[in-house]
């Protein structure tokens, strides 16, 4: 039993999606997260344990290696995909309420701004940290954030901006959210943003990178 969890952890850590996927070379021909998850469920391992003892720790290792510059994003994405294959099997249990994520994270790039590479990375890493993600895409105004919050009560919001002329829109979005859905926690990021700006517009936290976002969110969840 423990062995299966360990194998799953390894498959996700190294990005092995399923048996026929060629990547990574050293696991060629072996089962991927898809197959291992199916076996694990069959063996009666609880989905909550699968999530908490295999998937999340695997992604935590991936995140750590990434922040130590020991792997590149493509490798991280492979792991995310392996985790995704596993999650697909776990989906019914989420719906039934048998497992819970740490919470919901709503993320979007601010009104007027189309830069989303950074935002997508953050979304992926946060998902890997055990959160449900609602990705609103780019060019997102306050209404859409608020709507998403109404649909996901208690969710935490993340906003990204890459332009000096769109980061100011964050201010307006933050006030609207705080007014319409008080107590919402808002996390901001993106190249031109910094801590001073975060404080100025009344957002709750600024993180310079995905790892910072994950750490903050985990603190919120615990």
Partner 1 sequence: MRYKSLIINNPEDLMFGIAPYPVKTRRGLEIGGGQVYAELNFTLPVMSINKNTLDRVYEHYREIAEGALERAVHLNSKGVVLEFETLLEMTKTPSIGVEIVKIMNEICENYYQKFGLASEIRLTPNDLREFERPAKQRTSGYLEPMMELFEKGMIAGGDLLSIESTGGKEVSDDALMNCDIKTIVFALAVLGVRDMRFLWKKIVSAANNHGKIAAGDSACGFGNTAMVLAEKKYIPKVFAALVRVISVVRSIVAIEEGAVGPDKDCAYEGPFLKAITGIPISMEGKTSACAHLSPIGNIASACCDLWSNESVQNIKLLSGMAPTAYMEQLEYDARLMNEALRAGKLHRNVLQQLLVASDVFTDPQALILSPKNVIRISKELVKGDSYVANARNGALVAIDIIEEALASGKMKLSEMETNYLPILRDDLESIPDNESDFVEMMLPLIDPGKFILAEYGL
| Binding region for partner 1 (CB under 8 A) | 69-74, 77, 112, 114, 116-117, 120-121, 137-139, 163-169, 191-192, 194, 197
Closer Cβ to ligand B12, 101 or 211, answer by number: 211
Cβ at position 58, least distance to ligand B12 in Å: 20
Closest approach of partner 1 to the CB of residue 121, in Å:
8
What does the binding site for ligand B12 look like in residue numbers (CB under 6 A)? 113-119, 121-122, 158-160, 162-165, 187-192, 207, 209-210, 213
Query: Whose Cβ is closer to partner 1: residue 5's or residue 12's?
Result: 12
C-beta of 104 vs 142, nearer to partner 1 = 142
Residue (88 or 114) nearer to ligand B12, CB: 114
Q: Which does 154 bind (CB under 5 to 8 A by kind): partner 1, ligand B12, none?
A: none
Q: CB under 5 to 8 A by kind: which of ligand B12, partner 1, none does 11 bind?
A: none
Rounded Cα distance between 91 and 57, Å, is: 19
- Report which DSSP code applies to 72: -
The minimum distance between CB 168 and ligand B12, in angstroms, equals 11
φ and ψ at residue 34, rounded to 5 degrees? -55, -60
Q: Given the complex with partner 1, which of 50 and 161 has the nearer CB atom? A: 161
Nearest Cα residue to 40 out of 76, 80, 93: 93
Residue 207 C-alpha from the chain's centroid: 14
Give whole-number Cα distances, 14 to 83, 92, 134, 186, in Å. Answer: 10, 25, 26, 32
| CA–CA gap between residue 79 and residue 11 (Å, rounded) | 8
Q: Is the distance from CB of 135 to CB of 126 less than 8 angstroms?
A: no
73 binds, among partner 1, ligand B12, none (CB under 5 to 8 A by kind): partner 1
Instruction: Report what 33 binds from ligand B12, partner 1, none; CB cut-off 5-8 Å by kind.
Output: none
Output phi, psi for 24, to 5 deg.
-80, 150
Q: How far is the CB of 13 from partner 1 (least distance, A)?
A: 16
CB of 28 to ligand B12, least distance (A): 31
CA 122 to chain centre: 6
Which residues lie across from 186 on neighbouring strands?
157
Backbone angles phi, psi at 189, to 5 degrees: -165, 180
- The 205-206 sheet, strands edge to edge: 132-135, 104-109, 156-160, 186-189, 205-206
Q: Write down the least CB distance from residue 114 to partner 1, Å.
A: 6
């Amino acid at each position: 039993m423990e062995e299966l969890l360990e194998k799953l952890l390894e498959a996700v850590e190294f990005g092995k999606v399923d048996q026929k996927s060629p990547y990574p070379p050293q696991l060629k021909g072996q089962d991927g997260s898809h197959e291992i998850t199916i076996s694990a469920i069959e063996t009666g391992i609880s989905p909550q344990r699968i999530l908490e003892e295999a998937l999340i720790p695997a992604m935590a290792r991936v995140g750590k290696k990434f922040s130590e510059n020991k792997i590149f994003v493509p490798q991280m994405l492979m792991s995310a995909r392996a985790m995704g294959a596993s999650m697909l099997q776990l989906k019914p249990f989420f719906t039934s309420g048998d497992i819970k994520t740490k919470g919901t994270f709503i993320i979007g790039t601010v009104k007027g701004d189309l830069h989303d590479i950074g935002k997508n990375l953050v979304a992926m890493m946060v998902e890997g940290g055990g959160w449900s993600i609602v990705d609103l895409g780019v060019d997102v105004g306050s209404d859409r954030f608020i709507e998403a919050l109404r649909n996901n009560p208690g969710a935490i919001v993340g906003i990204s901006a890459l332009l000096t002329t769109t980061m100011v829109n964050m201010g307006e979005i933050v006030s609207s959210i705080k007014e319409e859905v008080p107590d919402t926690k808002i996390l901001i990021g993106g190249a031109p943003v910094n801590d001073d700006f975060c404080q100025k517009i009344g957002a709750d936290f600024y993180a310079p990178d995905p790892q910072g976002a994950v750490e903050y969110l985990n603190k919120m969840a615990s």
